[in-house]
Amino acid sequence: MSIIERKLRQKESLRQQILDAAREILLANGYAHLSMRRIAEQIEYSPTTIYHYFINKEDILHHLCVEALERQFESISAAGSSEQSTFLRLRSSIRAYIDFGLSEPDRYKIIYMADISQYVSMASILEEGSAANKLCKLMRNMVKDVLFESASTLDPETVFQTIWAHIHGIVALLIGRPDFPWVEREKLIETGLDLSLAGLARKGTG
Amino acid sequence: MSIIERKLRQKESLRQQILDAAREILLANGYAHLSMRRIAEQIEYSPTTIYHYFINKEDILHHLCVEALERQFESISAAGSSEQSTFLRLRSSIRAYIDFGLSEPDRYKIIYMADISQYVSMASILEEGSAANKLCKLMRNMVKDVLFESASTLDPETVFQTIWAHIHGIVALLIGRPDFPWVEREKLIETGLDLSLAGLARKGTG
DNA sequence: AGTAGATATTAACAGTGTTAAATATATTAT
DNA sequence: ATAATATATTTAACACTGTTAATATCTACT
């Protein structure tokens, strides 16, 4: 059955070529210039061919999204692992989240800012074992550890989502409105984290 | 010269009709379905006519953006004015920001989430006397008042931008990823505000 | 009535995502 | 080797998008 295997391998190869091309265009020319025809041009196939490997453009974006989430998960989990205290582990992970977004804006946009919600269900992105799932669990657990140590009664999930909202806000605004008169970037980020995490060090009420 | 006046009036009228049509389509069918041809259809003119009144689509979006900012400014400044303490004034203004975003998602998207930064300069949106300018000043001053009362040494602008990032994050994520398993919305918002503002009540270091 | 100037339209360009139908290619069976 | 079958790929089109050069129409004034 090696012929079938080879065919599957070739099919998988072209599939990967399409994703590679899409990723390349995305990172080189930005989100706006990523088109099916351009991907086709790059892989030297007709645009229609792509539709035999992916349902539609959003399907491709979904895969790039999953891929980007894997990268994000790696950089965040790596950043946290070297720290000693639970608090610093959380803090440097959060910092890594922001740094990922600022250093890879197009990947970040694909994950969190693209209009894919109508096509790609959150459920499929968050499915068991996925990078997004692991990322959520990682963050939630770090929050839980910090809350436990400070004997807080706050709900870990709520705090996790709150922190997420905060850091997404920073990244999204800095990326999306780069010409706003922002204060010095480092100061904005660090002050933000200080304020955001200050409430975690003492007992909460809900 | 009343003929010239009438002509100017008519010109201005059609200009308004275009904006009205654009706004209507935006709010009824969403951001994705707002096209020049659709606006033209609605006002019963050819698509080209629009280009005699606006430079391009982004120009129209810019005007809708300014308009939306005016609405946002109104609802936020109204919300804060009724409160007594500086802290509550800030808090309810922030809450109004979030509520505006959640109740008028398409308007919010136009202001803060649309890809207009390449076409519409932040400078033109923030120009002296504009709603955006007034909104920034309003928020910044409220933050300043709170920081002054708590004898904080934190930089008001930095804190303002931090708070903005936080609340934008909440709105952007809730709007953009509605199918994520969020905790109860009210709880998320209120806990977030509590945590975010907790750091303002005591002395800072930067 | 004829003309200058403003205003609006037609028709096209270059692009987008997507799909039905036709074709080319490769594999299998005779 | 040839015919039949599956698979893979492309052509050509549809229905859109924003935008613009050239053209037509309408209006006001001489």
Rounded to a whole number of angstroms, the CA Rg of chain A reads 20
pLDDT at B116 (0 to 100): 63
CA distances from B192 to A91, A202, A206, B167 (A): 17, 15, 11, 9
pTM: predicted TM-score of the whole model, two decimal places: 0.91
Range 150-179 of A in CB contact (< 8 A) with B: 154-155, 157-159, 161-162, 164-170, 172-173, 176-179
Q: State the Cα–Cα distance between residues A81 and A44, nearest whole angstrom.
A: 43
Closest CA to B134 of B190, B69, B82, B87: B69
A179: nearest CA partner in chain B: B122
- Position with higher pLDDT, A143 vs A122: A143
pLDDT tens, chain B, 206 aa long:
455 556 666 767 899 999 999 999 999 998 889 999 999 999 999 999 999 999 999 999 999 999 999 999 999 999 988 888 999 999 999 999 999 999 999 999 999 988 765 567 788 899 999 999 999 999 999 999 999 999 989 999 999 999 999 999 999 999 999 999 999 999 999 999 999 898 887 544 43
Q: State the Cα–Cα distance between residues A149 and A141, nearest whole angstrom.
A: 12
Q: State the Cα–Cα distance between residues B29 and B11, nearest whole angstrom.
A: 27
Q: State the Cα–Cα distance between residues A162 and A147, nearest whole angstrom.
A: 14
pLDDT at A204 (0 to 100): 41
B28 CA from D27 C1′ (Å): 37
Q: State the Cα–Cα distance between residues A178 and B24, nearest whole angstrom.
A: 29
Q: Give A148-154's long-range contacts (Cβ < 8 A, gap of 24+).
A: A149/A86, A149/A87, A150/A200, A150/A201, A150/A202, A150/A203, A151/A203, A152/A200, A152/A202, A152/A203, A152/A204, A153/A203, A153/A204, A153/A205, A153/A206, A154/A200, A154/A204, A154/A206, A154/B191
pLDDT at B5 (0 to 100): 57
A189: nearest CA partner in chain B: B162
Taking an 8 Å cut-off on Cβ atoms, the answer to whether A194 and B199 are in contact is: yes
Q: Measured between CA atoms, how close is A46 to chain B, in angstroms? A: 27
| Model confidence pLDDT, tens digit, residues A4-54 | 556 667 777 899 999 999 999 999 998 889 999 999 999 999 999 999 999
Q: Measured between CA atoms, how close is B90 to chain A, in angstroms? A: 16
**Furthest-apart CA pair in chain A: how many Å?**
65
Range 98-117 of B in CB contact (< 8 A) with A: 112-113, 115, 117
Residues 2-21 of B with CB under 7 A from strand D: 3-4, 6-7
Q: Which nucleotides of chain C are near protein (any atom < 7 Å from a CB)?
A: 6-11, 15-21, 27-28
Closest CA to A104 of A32, A175, A165, A163: A175
List chain A residues with CB under 8 Å of B127: none
Token pair, residue B60, equals 């129209």
Residue ranges of alpha helices (H) inside A30-109 are 36-43, 47-50, 57-81, 86-103, 105-108
A200: nearest CA partner in chain B: B195
Taking an 8 Å cut-off on Cβ atoms, the answer to whether A115 and B32 are in contact is: yes
Token pair, residue B19, equals 């904006």
Q: State the Cα–Cα distance between residues A182 and A178, nearest whole angstrom.
A: 8
| Model confidence pLDDT, tens digit, residues A161-180 | 999 999 999 999 999 999 99
Q: Is the CB of B11 under 7 A from strand C?
A: yes
- Position with higher pLDDT, A114 vs A162: A162
| Model confidence pLDDT, tens digit, residues A40-65 | 999 999 999 999 999 999 999 999 99
Cβ neighbours of B171 (radius 10 Å): 24
List chain A residues with CB under 8 Å of B32: 115
pLDDT at A122 (0 to 100): 87
CA distances from A116 to A8, A26, A63, A182, B34 (A): 29, 15, 11, 29, 18
- Position with higher pLDDT, B109 vs A2: B109
pLDDT at A114 (0 to 100): 82
What residues contact residue B178 under an 8 Å CB cut-off, 6+ apart? A117
Reported as a pLDDT band with limits 50, 70 and 90, residue A77 is: very high
